[in-house]
Amino acid sequence: MSLLITCDTGGWKTPSRLRSHLEGTELSSAGVIAGRIGGDQLLRPAVDREANFAARRLAHRCGGVVVCNEYRGDLINVGHSLHHRQLFPAGARALPTLTREVIVQEIYTPYRNRVQRQLLDLLRSWSYVVHLSIRTFAAKTREGHWRRGDVGLLYDPARQDETDWCLDLIDELYLSTPDLKVRRNHPGRGTNDSLTKSLRMQFSPDVYLGIEIVLNRAWMGRSVLRRDQTLDLVGDAVGELSGEPIERAA
């Protein structure tokens, strides 16, 4: 098996072709970088740098190939299908139609194509690929209640290999970090509209396992040693399931 790790939400760059379109709007590059990053760390922001950090650290620990969307999530949600009503976040929905079309051309389509090409490339050398899509989730619900669980594994229960892989990962994590609360299909469902769901329609269950690993911002939103140690334990557990020896820097 091979591992592909992606992050839809962690980018913060603005495509050069879009900068003139966004001048004078609340989505100008200067406005988003200065005003939105570094807000309430318990809430999942559109520009989710912590997810980018997590994806790269996990890939380093488990030896997976990593593909991250480098562009801002407040312009478009590359995880949604093109017909989804929340494809464009609230601020971007107010932009002219032409600008939204440019956003799709510059951000959405290249990222999706890049992930698909990487999958096809891995399948030339491996019998199947486990695709892990990484993001964070808000520590509290809209009603202000704390969410239970530190890590969520979102998958399609109708795909037995995805179910088995998640159960095996839970077992591995329990051995290394029993205090980590891992929940299945929480706080969302693996069958909801997402990049993994889209790829399941393109690749058979014999060659593709699509799983979202979502991390609670109650711990992921804080840049502390414990966060990094926990990510390393998760990455090591994923590496154990790959069946491949991973060489790591001391």
Q: pLDDT tens for residues 198-219?
A: 999 999 999 999 999 999 999 9
Contact by Cβ (8 Å): 153, 211? yes
Distance CA 16, CA 99 (A): 13
* CA–CA separation, 199 and 172 (whole Å): 26
Among the ranges given (7-11, 55-59, 170-174, 197-201), the one the predictor scored with the smallest mean pLDDT: 7-11
- Confidence class for position 1, pLDDT limits 50, 70, 90: confident
pLDDT of residue 41: 66
Task: Compute the radius of gyration of the chain from its Cα atoms.
Answer: 18
Asked if the model's pLDDT at residue 246 lies above 60, the reply is no
State residue 47's pLDDT score: 78
Mean pLDDT, rounded, for 94-121: 97
Q: Is 2-242 assigned to CATH 3.40.630.40?
A: yes
- Please state, for a pLDDT cut of 90, what percent of the chain lies above it: 78
| Per-residue confidence (pLDDT) for residue 26, from 0 to 100 | 83
Q: What pLDDT does 24 receive?
A: 84
Q: Answer for the pair 54, 220: CB distance below 8 angstroms, yes or no.
A: yes
Is the pLDDT at 18 greater than 80? The verdict is yes
Query: What pLDDT score was predicted for residue 223?
Result: 84
Name the burial class of residue 28, with classes exposed (0-12), middle (13-18) and buried (19+) by CB atoms within 10 angstroms of its CB. Answer: middle
Contact by Cβ (8 Å): 73, 89: yes
For residue 21, with 0-12 CB atoms within 10 Å meaning exposed, 13-18 middle and 19 or more buried, which class applies?
buried
Residue 124: pLDDT band by 50, 70, 90 thresholds?
A: very high
Average pLDDT over residues 75-102: 94
**Which of 37-51, 118-132, 142-156 shows the lowest mean pLDDT across its residues?**
37-51
pLDDT at 245: 42
Give the mean pLDDT of the chain.
90
Give the closest residue to 68 by CA, choosing from 42, 88, 93, 48.
48
Strand residues in 10-166 grouped as ranges (E): 65-68, 129-137, 151-154
pLDDT single digits (tens) 218-241: 999 888 899 999 999 999 999 999
